[in-house]
Chain A
Amino acid sequence: MQLQRLLPVFLSEADEHLQALEEGALQLERHGPTPELVAGLFRSAHTLKGSAGALGFQRIAKLAHAVEEVLEALRAGRTADGLADLLLECVDTLRALRREVSDGGEHTDVDEVVQRLQAWKEGGTQDGLHPVDVRVRLREDCPMRAARALALLRMLREHAQVEQVAPPEDAIAQGQLELEFTARVRARQPEALQELLAGPEVESVRVMPAWEARDERWLDLGPQARGKLPDDPELTRRASLRTVRVDVERLDRLMNLVGELVVDRIRFQQIAERLRRLDGANGLAQELAEAAGHLGRVASDLQAQVLKARMLPIEHLFSRFPRYVRDLAQRAGKKVEVVLEGQDTELDRSVIEQIGGPLMHLVRNAVDHGIEPPEERLRLGKPAAGRLRLAAVQEEEGILVVVEDDGRGIDTDRVREKAVRLGLLTAEEAARLSEEEAVELIFHPGLSTASQVTDVSGRGVGMDAVRAGVQALGGSVEVETQRGRGTRFVLRLPLTLAIVRALLVSCGGEPYAIPLAGVQEIVEVPAERLHRVGSYRATVLRGNALPLVSVHEALGLPAPENPGRLLCVVTGGRRRVGLWVDRVLGEGEIVVKPLGSYLGQVDGVSGATILGDGRVALILDPSALVRLALREEELAHVG
């Protein structure tokens, strides 16, 4: 069914238009109604209305239509008071309607908001002038139509402010006029215009409220009304043909296939190497090596291209924050200005999907706990509006995302006090902590410094979840804070999750990969340094106890005959454990493949990869290993 196939296109387009409307509403609130802005908003509403109507989503079409009319009234001179709120409400309602399209149901009421839109249109104009469209139709036998039209416009100018004319006056002067022209004017007494323009050459004069006359011709009225619409329809058409929408699943599959290709390339190279050793400088081996080399270059290029295709600008994530912060700030009675930087920095879509939660949490904390209420800020000599900066920068190895506020900073005394109260530390221990260490306490599970529960931040879901979330991606979170000056969180994120740098190790004869981000060091531990308490083993590394675990214990596999003597120190969160390995096979980039559905989710394993020799290696998840090991440790304590 045709429409069924179009539905996903409609939905994703609708999301874009809703996003554009939301951003536009926020800009409207901040900068007022510039012609470009209003034209952009209008186009979004217009397109949404069109496609919703075509697919039979009447309620979306109805609301979009009402939004269009309101924008037309705005363009015609209605003051913008209260419109941003109203538009944001429309966006919310439209989003709810859009969800109903994908999830079913018809519960959202549009009539109420449509009525309010209509009521808004009738509201005030700045100067007591009423925006109207005057449509004049000349008689068939009118001589010198162009001159007549211009004379009528000349007269209209004596009694009203003429803002736009369609067709434009230049075009009329050059004879591009059939019988009708329309002028958008603002007049004190619109009723009087009809009589003014009537005459023997005039067939009819219609005077109507500007939003009723809504007419697509206005979309193309000249540069200031046209906004960013490209001039050349041909150009627009070509531009839209240059991009295609691809299902992300296809990209994932493509990535997977490229991964296999990379593996094959390595195999080819190894075969070529062996052949070369077998028959020395024989030409055939050399040729194979060259072909494998070429295959290798093509495969890496292909891999890079596919990786690129999976990238999205972080804007996709950032763009939701202005609205989010506005709502949070409004509820908390604060003023917050959001500054976005580096929005076009690109990240793999899987990373973008997964840092949304942590970022939201940081932003919420900043608004709720960081930025002071306006009165307090003024008292402190700060501007009433707090500043929340979200920035993304690409570095060599990955992406830095910064969440920074200019609020009160983290109160380390209170953090210490709370840690003591919760029994995490003794008072002496807390006092001994350096400032940095005290700040680090905020990442401790269950510690939140908000002295009150608010509906914004709640209590307890803390920074530990943020850090764990980012670390699960192979990233890290750092915090800098200055009392009274603000707090900055820096998230280091990998560019992609599809390829990671990993340490390849062998345990019990099986290869495993451990993402390098989770590996701290490899140490050799002599037997006498091993301690055993029941089933709980540990060693002491530079003065600190290090719990030990073997892959087999963690994954519940039978123990190998010769446990290794190398310890790979892996970290997850603030904790670390020593993982027994037999030997280190090497280090390199591996292509992460999800475990097949027949294996399902295995705790401690995040995926699998195919090694150059064709063997499959499980990819260990450092933070899960730490969790598993420490759970065992606790059990051992109990036993």
Chain B
Amino acid sequence: MSARVLVVDDALFMRAMIREALTNSGFQVVAEASNGEEAVARYEESKPDVVTMDITMPQMDGVQAVREILRRDPSARIVMVSAMGQQALVVEAIQAGARDFVVKPFDQTRLVEAIRRALR
């Protein structure tokens, strides 16, 4: 059974790109969210196996969303999707419990690999 993914990003373009990359690699994107609050809600509804999480988003940012999701489900597996120059935030997210990260711009294989590692 293919792993179910929640994709969180405020940019429609990024969400589409990630969806395509994952679908091509046999993952199933079960939900999308464009900000942190929404991400938490979608996570509750769809209970995905893994989340890709953008960092800079309106309402609730990615790091806060990581904390919020892990508070509800400590076993949640989250991969951060970060822009360059956001290392401090990525570190914060990992310390909060995120499992892996990719840095934009990334090629598809990096993302897929990060998700596979997070699922291990």
Q: Are B94 and A147 in contact (CB under 8 A)?
A: yes
Q: Are B99 and A147 in contact (CB under 8 A)?
A: no
Q: Are A150 and B95 in contact (CB under 8 A)?
A: yes
Distance between A136 CB and nearest chain B CB, rounded to angstroms = 14
List chain B residues, Cβ under 8 A from A200. 110, 113
Stretch at the interface among B17-25, B59-67, B82-90: B82-90
State whether A146 and B87 are in contact (beta carbons under 8 Å apart), knowing that A200-B110, A200-B113 are contacts in the complex.
yes
Residue from the list B90, B110, B117, B120 in contact with A147, Cβ < 8 A: B90
Residue from the list B99, B103, B113 in contact with A154, Cβ < 8 A: B99
- In the complex, chain B residues 35-91 whose Cβ is within 8 Å of any chain A Cβ: 82, 84, 87, 90-91
Q: Are A151 and B99 in contact (CB under 8 A)?
A: yes
Closest to A172 in B: B91
Q: Are B113 and A173 in contact (CB under 8 A)?
A: no
Docked Cα-Cα span, A175 to B87, in Å, equals 9
Residue from the list B82, B94, B113 in contact with A150, Cβ < 8 A: B94
Q: Is A558 an interface residue (CB 8 A)?
A: no
Q: Are B84 and A143 in contact (CB under 8 A)?
A: yes
Q: Are A143 and B103 in contact (CB under 8 A)?
A: yes
Distance between A168 CB and nearest chain B CB, rounded to angstroms = 13
Q: Is A241 an interface residue (CB 8 A)?
A: no
Q: Is B10 an interface residue (CB 8 A)?
A: no
Closest to A150 in B: B94
Q: Are A146 and B103 in contact (CB under 8 A)?
A: no
Docked Cα-Cα span, A144 to B82, in Å, equals 10
Q: Is B100 an interface residue (CB 8 A)?
A: yes
Q: Are A144 and B94 in contact (CB under 8 A)?
A: no
Q: Are A155 and B113 in contact (CB under 8 A)?
A: no
Distance between B116 CB and nearest chain A CB, rounded to angstroms = 10
Q: Are B100 and A173 in contact (CB under 8 A)?
A: no
Q: Are B91 and A150 in contact (CB under 8 A)?
A: yes
Q: Is A199 an interface residue (CB 8 A)?
A: yes
Q: Are B94 and A151 in contact (CB under 8 A)?
A: yes
Q: Are B99 and A144 in contact (CB under 8 A)?
A: no
- In the complex, chain A residues 191-207 whose Cβ is within 8 Å of any chain B Cβ: 196, 199-200
Q: Hey, what's the 0/1 contact readout for B88-114 against A, CB within 8 Å counting as 1?
A: 001100110011110100000010010
Docked Cα-Cα span, A200 to B116, in Å, equals 13
Docked Cα-Cα span, A106 to B110, in Å, equals 62
Docked Cα-Cα span, A148 to B100, in Å, equals 8
Q: Are A146 and B91 in contact (CB under 8 A)?
A: yes
Number of residues from A at the complex interface, CB < 8 A: 15
Closest to A158 in B: B120
Docked Cα-Cα span, A200 to B82, in Å, equals 17
- In the complex, chain A residues 132-154 whose Cβ is within 8 Å of any chain B Cβ: 143-144, 146-148, 150-151, 154
Q: Are B103 and A173 in contact (CB under 8 A)?
A: no
List chain B residues, Cβ under 8 A from A150. 91, 94-95
Closest to A201 in B: B110
Q: Are A199 and B113 in contact (CB under 8 A)?
A: yes
Docked Cα-Cα span, A328 to B101, in Å, equals 63
State whether A155 and B99 are in contact (beta carbons under 8 Å apart), knowing that A143-B84, A144-B82, A200-B113 are contacts in the complex.
yes
Docked Cα-Cα span, A173 to B101, in Å, equals 15
Q: Are A144 and B100 in contact (CB under 8 A)?
A: no
List chain B residues, Cβ under 8 A from A148. 101
Q: Are B117 and A199 in contact (CB under 8 A)?
A: yes
Q: Are A173 and B95 in contact (CB under 8 A)?
A: yes
State whether A147 and B113 are in contact (beta carbons under 8 Å apart), knowing that A154-B94, A173-B91, A173-B95 are contacts in the complex.
no
Closest to A148 in B: B101
Q: Are B101 and A151 in contact (CB under 8 A)?
A: yes
List chain A residues, Cβ under 8 A from B110. 200
Docked Cα-Cα span, A173 to B92, in Å, equals 8
List chain A residues, Cβ under 8 A from B95. 150, 173
**Which of A143, A155, A173, A175 is most buried by chain B, counting CB atoms within 10 A of its CB?**
A143
Distance between A489 CB and nearest chain B CB, rounded to angstroms = 63
Residue from the list B103, B113, B120 in contact with A144, Cβ < 8 A: B103
Docked Cα-Cα span, A331 to B98, in Å, equals 60
Distance between B69 CB and nearest chain A CB, rounded to angstroms = 16
State whether A144 and B117 are in contact (beta carbons under 8 Å apart), knowing that A151-B100, A154-B94 are contacts in the complex.
no
List chain A residues, Cβ under 8 A from B94. 147, 150-151, 154
List chain A residues, Cβ under 8 A from B103. 143-144
Distance between A448 CB and nearest chain B CB, rounded to angstroms = 71
Closest to A174 in B: B91
Distance between B48 CB and nearest chain A CB, rounded to angstroms = 19
Distance between A44 CB and nearest chain B CB, rounded to angstroms = 38
Distance between B95 CB and nearest chain A CB, rounded to angstroms = 7
Docked Cα-Cα span, A154 to B97, in Å, equals 8
Closest to B80 in A: A147
List chain B residues, Cβ under 8 A from A144. 82, 87, 90, 101, 103
Closest to A159 in B: B120
Closest to A169 in B: B95
**Which of A148, A151, A158, A199 is most buried by chain B, counting CB atoms within 10 A of its CB?**
A151
Closest to B93 in A: A147
List chain A residues, Cβ under 8 A from B82. 144, 147
B contacts, CB < 8 Å to A = 82, 84, 87, 90-91, 94-95, 98-101, 103, 110, 113, 117, 120
**12 other contacts beyond A147-B90, A147-B94, A154-B99, with CB at 8 A cut-off?**
A143-B84, A144-B82, A144-B90, A144-B103, A150-B91, A150-B95, A151-B99, A151-B100, A155-B100, A158-B120, A173-B91, A173-B95
10 contacts between A and B (CB under 8 A): A143-B84, A144-B82, A144-B101, A147-B82, A147-B91, A151-B94, A154-B94, A155-B120, A200-B110, A200-B113
Q: What are the nearest 7 A-B pairs in CB distance?
A: A147-B90, A144-B87, A150-B94, A143-B103, A173-B91, A147-B91, A151-B100
A contacts, CB < 8 Å to B = 143-144, 146-148, 150-151, 154-155, 158, 173, 175, 196, 199-200
